[in-house]
Structure 1
Amino acid sequence: MSERPGIVIVGASLAGLRGAEALRRGGYDGPLTLIGDEPHPPYDRPPLSKHVLAGELEADATALPHLVSLRARWRLGQPATGLDRAGRTIRLADGSDVPFTKLFIATGARARTWTEQGADLDGVFTIRRREDAVALRRALSRPPERVLIIGAGLIGCEAASCCRDLGLPVTLVDPNPTPLARILGTVVGEVLAQTLRRSGVDYRPGARVRALVGEAGHVRRAHLQDGGAIDTDLVIVALGAVRETAWLARAGLVADSGGVTCDGACRVLTREGPPDVDIVAAGDVARWPNPIYGGRAITVEHWGNAVEQAAHAASSLLRPAQPKPYVHLPAFWSSQFGLNIKAVGLADGADAVAIVQGDRASRRFLAVYGRDGRSVAAVSFDQARWLPAYADRILAGAPFPPILDATDQRRIETLAPGFPPLRTERPVLEMAHV
């Protein structure tokens, strides 16, 4: 018996699940299908790089709660391999076709893997899926002689923190001058660099791994571009993510490895120009013009964005005659090396940063970023009391810095933020805890 066409959601993670719930809440009562490439029901990814690795939480305890009755058909463990927009069908890896009347794209992203020499060696891991965290946790418990982490973004730093908590020797290699340099700049990133070193991490800024070399099929050494080498028997690759868009290659949509391009209402743009009002996207895979930042097209890999954008995309799908712009202030938090780091807004591209609360030496401070005289982002290190107030000012486009003469404010220190030279990739915010 053939399936009745209805709304199909491709992507069974956070954005897909919350999008399905928003459709039901919004009054949709027809057939609903969720397609997922993993065999598991939707689960929470942020704990994988910390609590699951540390052994504090079992991987199967990360399942996301269902907040409403979905009455949906699940097609799990079957990646989408193609989209026929004219025929209104989605091809799955098993060769079957799923018909749809409207489509919700929430395929997210996959971890960027190591593709240079040594990619086929045992002992080389990424952290994105449940199986990744389980396999890595098992390898860490053996334990390894030295862990090498390639990439000092949020995931790389959190993994380093976890490994040090387990008492493991860690080397962290990154081509940038400080951790999180592209997200927060080197002024704030240097605080993390000092924290890494104080915590016993062998931190190597400005370094690149050229090749991984093994013995008997297992990684044993990393060769650096400067000619140096690092002995290691476990490598964690934390080089960011690639959007899951390959299945859309022949669909006539504006999509590439940087995401699926949408209009302001999260409706996916066609190569002809206008959006397809029957296709929306949300979550890590969606690239949309954010009004807060002058219509700049961005993707955001944050938990809160996945939830909020999924609800907005569902509304656009159900009420195509009433499109509304999706406005979202990015926000994330990360716990590492005993620090609670929280941030709001987009700091990259800022021309100034002001330390408005606390000081960097104590690692308890709040920094505000400005661009062209306006506040665009803020980050706190164990000093989040004023962060909601700064979020409000950023949304309002307030002058930089927006709050002066606060009761607990000392002398304001204003500096150049120290962002590395821009690369050609589209701006992407790495997944973090929210």
Structure 2
Amino acid sequence: MASRERVLLIGGGLTTARAAESLRQAGFDGEVVVLAEERRLPYERPPLSKGYLTGADAASVVYPHDAAWYRDHDVDVRRGVRATAIDPSAHTVSTSGSTSGADAAGEVLRYDRLLLATGSSPRRFDGPGAGLRDVHTLRRLPDSTRLRTAFRAGDRRVVVVGGGWIGLEAAAAAREYGNEVTVLVRGEVPLAAAIGPELGGLFQRMHEEHGVTVRTGTGISALSGEQGRVAGVVLGTGEEVPADLVLFGIGATPNVELAASAGLTVDDGIVTDAAFGTSADDIYAAGDVAKSFNPRLGHWLRVDHWANALNGGALAGRAIAGETVVYDDIPYFFTDQYDLGMEYSGYGELAAGAELVVRGDLAARECVAFWLADGRVVAGMNINVWDVNETVQRLIRSERIVSREELADPGVPLDALAGDVA
């Protein structure tokens, strides 16, 4: 009797959860096995710097599916199991268990098709003092739990190194718990690389209004300590910023080691075509770790935001099930900080140097901002304005020529500018 086809999904994040879901929805009736290195079900990460960190949400909010869902859909989730090697020619994956043990420790697993969704890891400070206690990064659920516990104590001097989304969201959470918060930014304004200096300045002013000290143009040379605990952050100038807790939010790097050791093409991510196929037969990659060909841009793009895991994981599952797919989603991300909610859709590289057009009141933080390049909208961001993001995406996808006056005029419906896009 022939054995059932087996799909292995390597990774414990949203990408694998969505891929497993779409495999079953597409009618795949073979084995689906998830190898999750952490000893928990696959989970998503936005709550770790948002609702779970602030205390608004319970830990259960991070799980797209509970254990019953995996059982009911015949998906075998092997927790605490790490993939250690791939043999593309033999179609096998070697595994080892975590230090706490695992059911599949030391196995060699056969696969018919394989999805790599190994995600990324936070960049860590490796200078003097890096090993002190109370020095944090934020990537996994236990990271967020430790930070939430520390923030809840209140009246602590929290220093956040890095002015990106993770750093600013964590800074807002720490401040709302009543801590003294300082954000250290290497550039001249937070978020400048992501949304430009004008909108980055909006976020800086908002944090300052809430009592956060934002210091720009700062470099870090070391961490100082007392009795093994961090006591301060030493700047490049020699000045020391006192700290009871330091969080580094200085970016992330894709976890490509497994793919690279198997001989797959790697270049700041696992290189794939527009259907998630890698350079090896029957091996796919999706999520943070994948650098997929983008038909709109005409080159490869790696996106490490939630929507990429959500939508890319689902589409990758369909591709693995045998459907013909093309991944051409417009990159999307969102943030919640204090009383500000924001959604962004667009191509950052096209927005660089584009004209910024604002519809609404930027100072009041209630508006929609557009990036206009050669008369076409290439990115859009709605701030405390809701139910417009789908229209913004349609406008970007349409590639229609629009005037800055029409974009800025609230009296001109966005639907009319976007038109009908297939």
Aligned partner of 1:130 in structure 2 is 141
Which of 260, 266, 269 matches 1:255? 266
Query: Contact 2:365/2:384 (CA < 8 Å) preserved in 1?
Result: yes
Which of 92, 104, 116 matches 2:95? 92
Aligned partner of 1:326 in structure 2 is 327
Query: What is the SS of the residue equivalent to 1:370?
Result: strand
Query: Contact 1:365/1:382 (CA < 8 Å) preserved in 2?
Result: yes
Structure 1 CA distance, aligned partners of 2:404 and 2:327?
25
Structure 2 CA distance, aligned partners of 1:78 and 1:394?
42
Query: Contact 1:59/1:133 (CA < 8 Å) preserved in 2?
Result: no
- The unaligned stretches of length 5 or more in structure 2 are 98-105, 413-422
Aligned partner of 2:100 in structure 1 is none
Query: What is the SS of the residue equivalent to 2:184?
Result: strand
Query: Contact 2:357/2:372 (CA < 8 Å) preserved in 1?
Result: no
Query: What is the SS of the residue equivalent to 1:52?
Result: helix
Structure 1 CA distance, aligned partners of 2:385 and 2:212?
24
Which of 134, 138, 159 matches 1:148? 159
**1:170-196 Cα distance to aligned partner (Å, 9 max, x none):** 000011221111110101111111111
RMSD of aligned C-alpha atoms?
2.2
Query: What is the SS of the residue equivalent to 1:362?
Result: coil
Query: How many angstroms does 1:98 deviate by?
Result: 1.6
Partner amino acid for 2:63?
A
Partner amino acid for 1:260?
I
Aligned partner of 1:361 in structure 2 is 363
Partner amino acid for 1:187?
E
**1:8-32 Cα distance to aligned partner (Å, 9 max, x none):** 1101221101101111111211122
Query: Contact 1:19/1:313 (CA < 8 Å) preserved in 2?
Result: yes
Aligned partner of 2:183 in structure 1 is 172
- Structure with the larger helix share: 2
Aligned partner of 2:226 in structure 1 is 215
Query: What is the SS of the residue equivalent to 2:178?
Result: coil
Aligned partner of 1:286 in structure 2 is 290
Partner amino acid for 2:293?
P
Query: How many angstroms does 1:202 deviate by?
Result: 0.7
Query: What is the SS of the residue equivalent to 2:356?
Result: strand
Aligned partner of 1:415 in structure 2 is none
Which residues in structure 2 correspond to 1:67-82 (within 5 Å)? 69-82=72-85
TM-score by length of 2: 0.88
Query: What is the SS of the residue equivalent to 1:235?
Result: strand
Aligned partner of 2:26 in structure 1 is 26
Query: What is the SS of the residue equivalent to 1:253?
Result: coil
Alignment size in residue pairs: 398
Query: How many angstroms does 1:72 deviate by?
Result: 2.2
Aligned partner of 1:273 in structure 2 is none
C-alpha change, 1:401 and 1:90, in structure 2 (3 Å) is farther
Structure 2 CA distance, aligned partners of 1:398 and 1:246?
42
Greater shift in the superposed pair: 58-67 or 9-18: 58-67
- The unaligned stretches of length 5 or more in structure 1 are 271-275, 411-434
Partner amino acid for 1:300?
V
Which residues in structure 2 correspond to 1:168-317 (within 5 Å)? 168-256=179-267, 258-268=268-278, 270=279, 276-292=280-296, 294-317=297-320
Structure 2 CA distance, aligned partners of 1:13 and 1:190?
32
Which residues in structure 2 correspond to 1:54-69 (within 5 Å)? 54-65=54-65, 69=72
Query: How many angstroms does 1:239 deviate by?
Result: 1.2
Aligned partner of 1:396 in structure 2 is 398
Structure 2 CA distance, aligned partners of 1:401 and 1:289?
30
Query: How many angstroms does 1:144 deviate by?
Result: 5.4
Structure 1 CA distance, aligned partners of 2:9 and 2:147?
30
Greater shift in the superposed pair: 179-188 or 70-79: 70-79
Query: Contact 2:4/2:30 (CA < 8 Å) preserved in 1?
Result: no
Structure 2 CA distance, aligned partners of 1:302 and 1:202?
27
Query: Contact 2:358/2:408 (CA < 8 Å) preserved in 1?
Result: no
Query: How many angstroms does 1:248 deviate by?
Result: 1.9
Structure 1 CA distance, aligned partners of 2:22 and 2:156?
48
Aligned partner of 2:416 in structure 1 is none
Query: What is the SS of the residue equivalent to 1:305?
Result: helix
**1:368-414 Cα distance to aligned partner (Å, 9 max, x none):** 1123442210112213454433221101112255771776259xxxx
TM-score by length of 1: 0.86
